[in-house]
Amino acid sequence: PLIKEILTAMGVRVIECEGYEADDVLGTLSKMCSDTQNECHILTGDRDSLQLVNDSVTVHLATTKETIIYTPDKFIEDYGFEPIYLIDLKALMGDSSDNIPGVTGVGQKTATTLITKWKTIENLYENLENAGLTKGVFTKLDNGRESAKESKWLATIVLDAPIDTTLDNCMFKERNDSLLAQLLTELEMFKMLSKFGLEPAETLPLQEEAEVKTAEISCKSEELTENISEKLLTADKIFYMLSDDKISVCDFESEYECTVYTSCNKNIILNVLKSDLPKITFSAKPHYHVALKNDTELKNLSFDCEIAAYLLDPASSEYNIEKLCFRYDSPYFRQAEEHADIVSLVKLYDVLKKEINQQGLDYLMYEVEQPLTEVLASMEHTGIQVNADGVKAFGEQLKDEIEGIQQQIYFMCGTEFNISSPKQLGDVLYDMGIPLKKKNKNGFSTSAEILEELRDSHPIIELVLRYRKLTKLSSTYVDGLLKTVSDDGRIHTVFKQTETRTGRISSTEPNLQNIPVRTELGREMRRFFTASDGKTFLDADYSQIELRIVAHICDDPVMINGFETGADIHASTASQVFGLPQELVTADMRSAAKAVNFGIIYGIGAFSLSKDIGVSVFEAKKYIKNYFKNFPNIEKFMDDTVEKAKNEGFVTTMFGRKRYVPELTASNKNMQAAGRRIAMNTPIQGSAADIIKIAMVKVYKRLKQEVPEARLILQVHDELIVECDFKDADKAAEILSAEMQSAAELKVPLTADVNRGESWYDAKG
């Protein structure tokens, strides 16, 4: 927005269209020029725009080395066909940078040959039988018909975006020197000022409107003494904030007259925290930490404005009082200077509380998210014990294996190089004759996806993949863990409650939720997380919670019956998809059905599914078609959810959590496709996130009342871990299982079996 303001002040016309990409605006303007016999020059770094080249339109393609001027003749010289057919070329060869799949197995050379001869994919497919193709190319094209058609749609730039195409609308205006000076001065861009030959302006406040709105505020500051504290604690509620061991309490005498009482006295701070008075604050988790460190409680938290802001807008990258005041049209009292946040919080609270109620978020606010803040603070405070010596020994073992693999790689390629350098690795593999295809600005791409496809081409690929896996395990999960072990021998990870759009809790410093579990080597890491002496771990994990939510939400009788009878849901799905009795379902069929089961949840397409399970796009499409044929309620739910999201702008979980999906209204096809996947998945994944949070609150409260020595210490996705004394294990296990399984009422049973062990590895079972 600031760049647009500066350009406008410079006299440059800014042409934009909500829901459309810049490519589409350029395309529409280029067509306007062609239609009116005007000359058009497009300066861009994006080769997609080359499809717009014609007798009226020239593209100046900026590259890292030079700017190439593309006219129709120059394009034909480089490509061998007319510019408009670039769309068809991409339809066949794809473009990973734009998520255009193309036809699997068809590269640039084959695609160029085909388009040079047949021009369009429509013409090619009409003549496919008589095109003189090899059997392999014919099969690839035949299987990739739908993908080619979809890819052409994705690659085509819009030429009729709803913008004003009057030529006068594109012309430069006169530069507004006073506005330009004002903007550049406010942004402290003084070198730019001198380039424009302008002098710094006398700046006005950027938030002038808010300043005027709150001009009458009068704020006094006083020391919070025990006497004043007792007086304040007799009010009906209290507004406070705690930062850097200093508490601030705001007391409004009238609408624009207040006093902020502050104190660094620990006893006074703790008296405020443990009082029974309803409390309103912003970001309460650190306050729970203060209480826990001093062996007391933060009681009766009435409203946490940060949590409310997150529920109202989970897509925001940052939550702070000043920004929220401007967003919700609540006064920000900047005149209160250092106390501006706490003073402004009083009025902001009224706005946020009203919004929470109007949007039907009361249950999530008061029964789930706000109580969860205390749970997460307790988990962070308690931490989890780590066997640091064991981690170090494991790290040495990894380093020995890494060094051995490194020497094998050097021997195979006959030279030493930095295996971790994508450019050096790409050059070495290419020189060995390994068929690397995709290039980027740094050379041949050696991404994990590409190397996986080349796994059978040479034994060195397997070694490189193993090397990468081990070095990541060593640097991230060995060295990374050791850096975060505290003096008490425990890791106190930080749980983030307001970061994900789905409602999931994330973990950082370190991220314990990302410890690899799919490989035996990754699972070994769990051995080093151990219970304290005399204690044990209880580990409970929801079984297939997302599929159970699908069965519940979609009210699918086949899936509901499978869960009620305890059937193997993936084998049951395979039976439906492949049309076979369950006893004839093979392991590969079950694996494919499992991929479909979970893929459907995430709105997977045939192209991605084919990659996941190693079949053609045609076969993957057939699997999905059969799936929806046998589970029609699920397809209807997906379609209805997307349609509702288009109309309302958001989707909701079972418990009312909202996620806005602006991607659905974008003109970019990839963004639209992403929006569809988000709309399909959020009610399921978001509901699973809500259920685990509800379970955490219920487990925490019951343990606190009935087994006070037991501690909920870790949450990883759908898994909870409790640490308790051996003598309390039976009771704590009963609570853990009961509260997890009763966290939500579904049409199918929620199951969470509890395992025990003295390490996370043992307890995971």
pLDDT digits (tens, 9 = 90+) for 1-12: 788 889 988 989
DSSP state of 131: S
CB 334 within 8 A of CB 340: yes
Residue-by-residue DSSP string for 394-450: HHHHHHHHHHHHHHHHHHHHTS---TT-HHHHHHHHHHTT-----EETTEE---HHH
Distance (Å, whole) CA 193 – CA 208: 23
Closest CA to 454 of 432, 469, 473: 432
Residue 389 predicted with pLDDT over 60:
yes
Residue 606 predicted with pLDDT over 90:
no
Give the model's confidence band at 212: pLDDT under 50 very low, under 70 low, under 90 confident, else very high: very low
DSSP state of 668: S
Residue-by-residue DSSP string for 74-111: HHHHHHSS-GGGHHHHHHHH-BGGGTB--STT--HHHH
Residue-by-residue DSSP string for 163-220: S---GGGGS-----HHHHHHHHHHTT-HHHHHHTT-PPP-PPPTTHHHHHHTTT-EEE
* Tokens encoding 85: 């057919």
Most confident segment among 350-354, 435-439, 603-607: 350-354
Q: Which residues pair with 507 in a beta bridge?
A: 495
Dihedral of CA 618/624/628/631: which sign? positive
Residue 565 predicted with pLDDT over 60:
yes
Q: Give the model's pLDDT for residue 202.
A: 58
Alpha-carbon distances, residue 301 vs 35, 242, 366, 372, 494 (angstroms): 65, 13, 10, 12, 21
- Percent of the chain predicted with pLDDT > 70: 97
Q: Give the model's pLDDT for residue 210.
A: 38
Average pLDDT over residues 397-402: 92
Residue 208 predicted with pLDDT over 60:
no
Distance (Å, whole) CA 107 – CA 436: 11
Dihedral of CA 742/743/745/746: which sign? negative
CB 157 within 8 A of CB 51: yes
Within 10 angstroms of residue 180's Cβ, the number of other Cβ atoms is 22
Most confident segment among 185-199, 456-470, 686-700: 686-700
Within 10 angstroms of residue 451's Cβ, the number of other Cβ atoms is 21
Alpha-carbon distances, residue 524 vs 28, 35, 227, 394, 640 (angstroms): 57, 67, 57, 9, 44
- Percent of the chain predicted with pLDDT > 90: 46
Distance (Å, whole) CA 410 – CA 419: 9
Cα–Cα–Cα angle for 227, 231, 233, rounded to 5 degrees: 115
Give the model's confidence band at 207: pLDDT under 50 very low, under 70 low, under 90 confident, else very high: very low
Q: Give the model's pLDDT for residue 305.
A: 97
Q: What is the pLDDT of residues 224-238, one digit of tens each?
A: 888 887 888 777 889
Q: Give the model's pLDDT for residue 505.
A: 93
Average pLDDT over residues 262-274: 93
Closest CA to 590 of 620, 613, 559, 606: 613
Q: What is the pLDDT of residues 505-540, one digit of tens each?
A: 999 888 888 887 777 877 888 999 999 999 999 999
Instruction: List Cβ neighbours of 91 (8 Å cut-off, separation of 6 or more).
Output: 100, 102, 103, 121, 148, 149, 151, 152, 155
Q: What is the pLDDT of residues 341-374, one digit of tens each?
A: 999 999 999 999 999 999 999 999 999 999 999 9
Alpha-carbon distances, residue 465 vs 138, 409, 449, 460, 614 (angstroms): 32, 11, 10, 9, 19
- Whether this model's pTM surpasses 0.85: no
Q: Give the model's pLDDT for residue 204.
A: 40
Alpha-carbon distances, residue 355 vs 23, 124, 329, 363, 646 (angstroms): 38, 57, 12, 13, 22
Most confident segment among 154-168, 418-432, 481-495: 481-495
Q: Give the model's pLDDT for residue 499.
A: 87
Strands 650-652 and 535-542: unpaired
Average pLDDT over residues 692-704: 97
62-76, 207-221, 514-528, range with the lowest pLDDT: 207-221
Q: Give the model's pLDDT for residue 754.
A: 94
User: If DSSP states are collapsed to H, E and C, what string results for 473-484?
Assistant: HHHHHHHHHHHC
Residue 439 predicted with pLDDT over 70:
no
